[in-house]
């Protein structure tokens, strides 16, 4: 049960990170959509480009403040219609980025709606950008959790705050209300833990469950009781069969023999305990085994934990990577800065590509995306292996330079400028940029957010004074 509990905790962390990345991505794209609201063709093109460049959503739609669908990707027979579904109504009322409850959509699917408001810099509200997840089709939740189904009967499922299933290996069960399930009752109370339960097929299961506070969802990982106990019981039966004659001869000899048999199992139990305490799925300690069954059990445990670690690491990397450029995304950059804040001095270069909007407007979003990838590769070309390059959002990029002062950061900015000056971009012209440069050390008084605001102010000063230059914070 403890393995399932720790495993459900890790899946909850990955799921939460994935949905936070989805909301951030949708919010950034919503900013890009506002200038295109009166350009139906441009709006549709931008929507399709976003859908192709991201694996987050099954469909996207732009809906105005009167609940009218302006366009969608892929195209549906609902454009021009007014929708008053639960998710749309809630999003229009709250005017904020949010995740809806499960409900039946206009296309007859059980869906989740992730929406972000369409607002200009003056705060004028124009509607929302909606990302739709079809829960009964292949979707991002299935991508993150779908690999965690096993032929031994183990599986994972997710419920919302009302006890409705929003992910299950059996898609026919999606939308089913299971609020009377003992595990789900605890999740609805905000509890996490592990327990033995009987599922709807009358199979005894060992379940680990974790509540996700940010969404009030719950993740359950469970394994058939028989799968866990059968190898152990088989080993115990063999041990008893071979031990009885020796027990009759001498109690001491039998006890020593039993201890020797039990030792590998004790070590496995200790590894399970360490797995819980250290929140790690890697079995690093070699457990000596001298009989086949214990070796098989040990190897099975090791293979299982290593496999889960690999899958979790892969999902974590995806949640921290910009899907277009392959660089670190905004979340990963912030985490890196917070880590460096406690260890060493560093510099950052906050970059904005000059006049990038004209590339999208005149050459199209495909060329715009190619230009962003070109710029990302240019940054990596002129930086060190230990430097961190990332996309901060839209056409903004960041270079983090550990153990580097202001002058060295200026030199890096110059190298990037020189490289771009000698290289034609996919836009067919030389790309220039404006930048803000900041230096952080242990004597700096203030949080990372304040430091970033100073560098951002330096960037905007460079833009206001004619672009194609850098300013220090």
CA distances to 66, 333, 451 from 400, rounded to whole Å, are 44, 8, 13
Homologous superfamily assigned to 330-472 = Reverse transcriptase/Diguanylate cyclase domain (3.30.70.270)
Mark out the alpha helices in 95-224 (DSSP H runs).
140-145, 182-188
Inter-residue contact 388 to 399 (CB < 8 Å): yes
Residue 61 parent element (H or E): strand 59-64
Question: CA-to-CA distance for 414 and 417, rounded, in angstroms?
Answer: 5
Q: Looking at the predicted structure, is the pLDDT value of residue 150 above 60?
A: no
Residue 337 structure tokens: 């800065």
Instruction: Tell me the HSE value of 6 on the side-chain side, using a 13 A CA sphere.
Output: 17
Inter-residue contact 135 to 167 (CB < 8 Å): yes
Which of 77-86, 342-351, 396-405 reaches the highest mean pLDDT?
A: 396-405
Q: Looking at the predicted structure, is the pLDDT value of residue 26 above 70?
A: yes
Q: Which residues contact 411 (CB under 8 A, 6 or more apart)?
A: none
pLDDT digit string, tens, across residues 187-239: 999 999 999 888 877 888 888 999 998 888 999 988 888 877 776 666 777 77
pLDDT digit string, tens, across residues 363-394: 999 999 999 999 999 999 999 999 999 999 99
Inter-residue contact 143 to 70 (CB < 8 Å): no
pLDDT digit string, tens, across residues 70-97: 999 998 888 889 988 888 999 999 999 9
Q: Which residues contact 106 (CB under 8 A, 6 or more apart)?
A: 78, 81, 83, 85
- pLDDT value at residue 5: 77
Question: CA-to-CA distance for 195 and 181, rounded, in angstroms?
Answer: 12
Q: Looking at the predicted structure, is the pLDDT value of residue 168 above 80?
A: yes
| Largest interatomic CA distance in the chain | 96
- pLDDT value at residue 233: 66
Find, among 310, 302, 311, 242, the residue nearest to 275 by Cα: 302
Q: Looking at the predicted structure, is the pLDDT value of residue 169 above 70?
A: yes
- The answer to whether the bond into 74 is cis (omega within 30° of 0) is yes
pLDDT digit string, tens, across residues 7-17: 788 888 888 88
Question: What's the CATH fold of domain 1-230?
Answer: Beta-Lactamase (3.30.450)
Q: Looking at the predicted structure, is the pLDDT value of residue 297 above 70?
A: no
Q: What is the mean pLDDT of the chain?
A: 86
Which tops the pLDDT comparison, 15 or 419?
Answer: 419
Q: Looking at the predicted structure, is the pLDDT value of residue 462 above 60?
A: yes
Question: CA-to-CA distance for 53 and 59, rounded, in angstroms?
Answer: 12
Inter-residue contact 117 to 128 (CB < 8 Å): yes
- pLDDT value at residue 148: 55
DSSP state of 422: T
Q: What percent of the chain has pLDDT over 90?
A: 56
Residue 50 parent element (H or E): helix 40-53
**pTM tops 0.75:** no
Confidence tier at 342 by pLDDT (50, 70, 90): confident
CA distances to 11, 57, 136, 148 from 142, rounded to whole Å, are 12, 12, 10, 9
Question: CA-to-CA distance for 459 and 473, rounded, in angstroms?
Answer: 8
Confidence tier at 52 by pLDDT (50, 70, 90): very high
Q: Looking at the predicted structure, is the pLDDT value of residue 403 above 90?
A: yes
Q: Where are the strands (E) in 355-440, listed by range?
A: 388-393, 396-402, 433-440
Inter-residue contact 347 to 406 (CB < 8 Å): yes
Question: CA-to-CA distance for 78 and 432, rounded, in angstroms?
Answer: 42
- pLDDT value at residue 379: 97
Question: CA-to-CA distance for 156 and 315, rounded, in angstroms?
Answer: 16
């Amino acid at each position: 049960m403890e393995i399932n509990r720790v495993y459900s905790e890790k899946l909850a962390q990955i799921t939460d990170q994935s949905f936070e990345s989805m909301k951030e991505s949708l919010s950034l794209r919503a900013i890009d959509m506002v200038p295109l609201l009166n350009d139906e063709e441009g709006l549709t093109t931008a929507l399709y480009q976003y859908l192709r460049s991201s694996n987050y959503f099954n469909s996207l739609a732009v809906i105005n403040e009167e609940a009218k669908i302006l366009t969608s990707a892929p195209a549906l027979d609902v454009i021009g219609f007014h929708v008053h579904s639960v998710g749309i109504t809630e999003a229009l009322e709250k005017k904020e980025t949010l995740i809806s409850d499960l409900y039946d959509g206009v296309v007859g699917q059980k869906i989740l709606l992730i929406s972000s408001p369409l607002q200009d810099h003056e705060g004028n509200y124009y509607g929302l950008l909606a990302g739709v997840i079809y829960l009964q089709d292949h979707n991002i939740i299935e991508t993150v959790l779908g690999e965690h189904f096993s032929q031994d009967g183990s599986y994972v499922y997710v419920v919302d705050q009302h006890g409705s299933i929003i992910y299950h290996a059996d898609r026919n069960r999606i939308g089913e209300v299971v609020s009377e399930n003992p595990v789900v009752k605890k999740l609805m109370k905000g509890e996490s833990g592990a327990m033995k339960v009987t599922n709807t097929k009358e199979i005894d299961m060992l379940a680990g469950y974790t509540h996700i506070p940010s969404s009030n969802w719950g993740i359950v990982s469970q394994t058939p009781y028989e799968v866990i106990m059968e190898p152990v019981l088989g080993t115990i039966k063999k041990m008893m069969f071979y031990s009885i004659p020796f027990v009759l001869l001498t109690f001491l000899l039998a006890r020593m023999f039993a201890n020797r048999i039990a030792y590998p199992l004790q070590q496995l139990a200790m590894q399970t305990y360490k797995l819980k305490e250290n929140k790690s799925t890697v079995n690093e300690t070699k457990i000596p085994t001298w009989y086949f069954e214990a070796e098989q059990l040990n190897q099975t445990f090791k293979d299982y934990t290593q496999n889960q670690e690999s899958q979790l690491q892969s999902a974590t990397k995806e949640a921290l990577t910009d899907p277009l450029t392959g660089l670190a995304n905004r979340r990963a950059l912030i985490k890196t800065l917070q880590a460096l804040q406690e260890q060493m001095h560093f510099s950052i270069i906050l970059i904005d590509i000059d006049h990038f909007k004209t590339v999208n407007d005149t050459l199209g979003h495909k060329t715009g995306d190619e230009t962003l990838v070109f710029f990302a590769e240019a940054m990596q070309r002129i930086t060190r292996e230990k430097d961190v390059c990332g996309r901060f959002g839209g056409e903004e990029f960041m270079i983090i330079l550990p153990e580097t002062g202001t002058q060295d950061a200026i030199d890096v900015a110059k190298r990037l400028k020189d490289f771009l000056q000698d290289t034609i971009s996919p836009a067919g012209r030389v790309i220039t940029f404006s930048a803000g440069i900041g230096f952080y050390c242990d004597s700096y008084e203030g949080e990372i957010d304040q430091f970033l605001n100073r560098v951002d102010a330096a960037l905007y000063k460079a833009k206001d004074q004619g672009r194609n230059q850098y300013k220090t914070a």
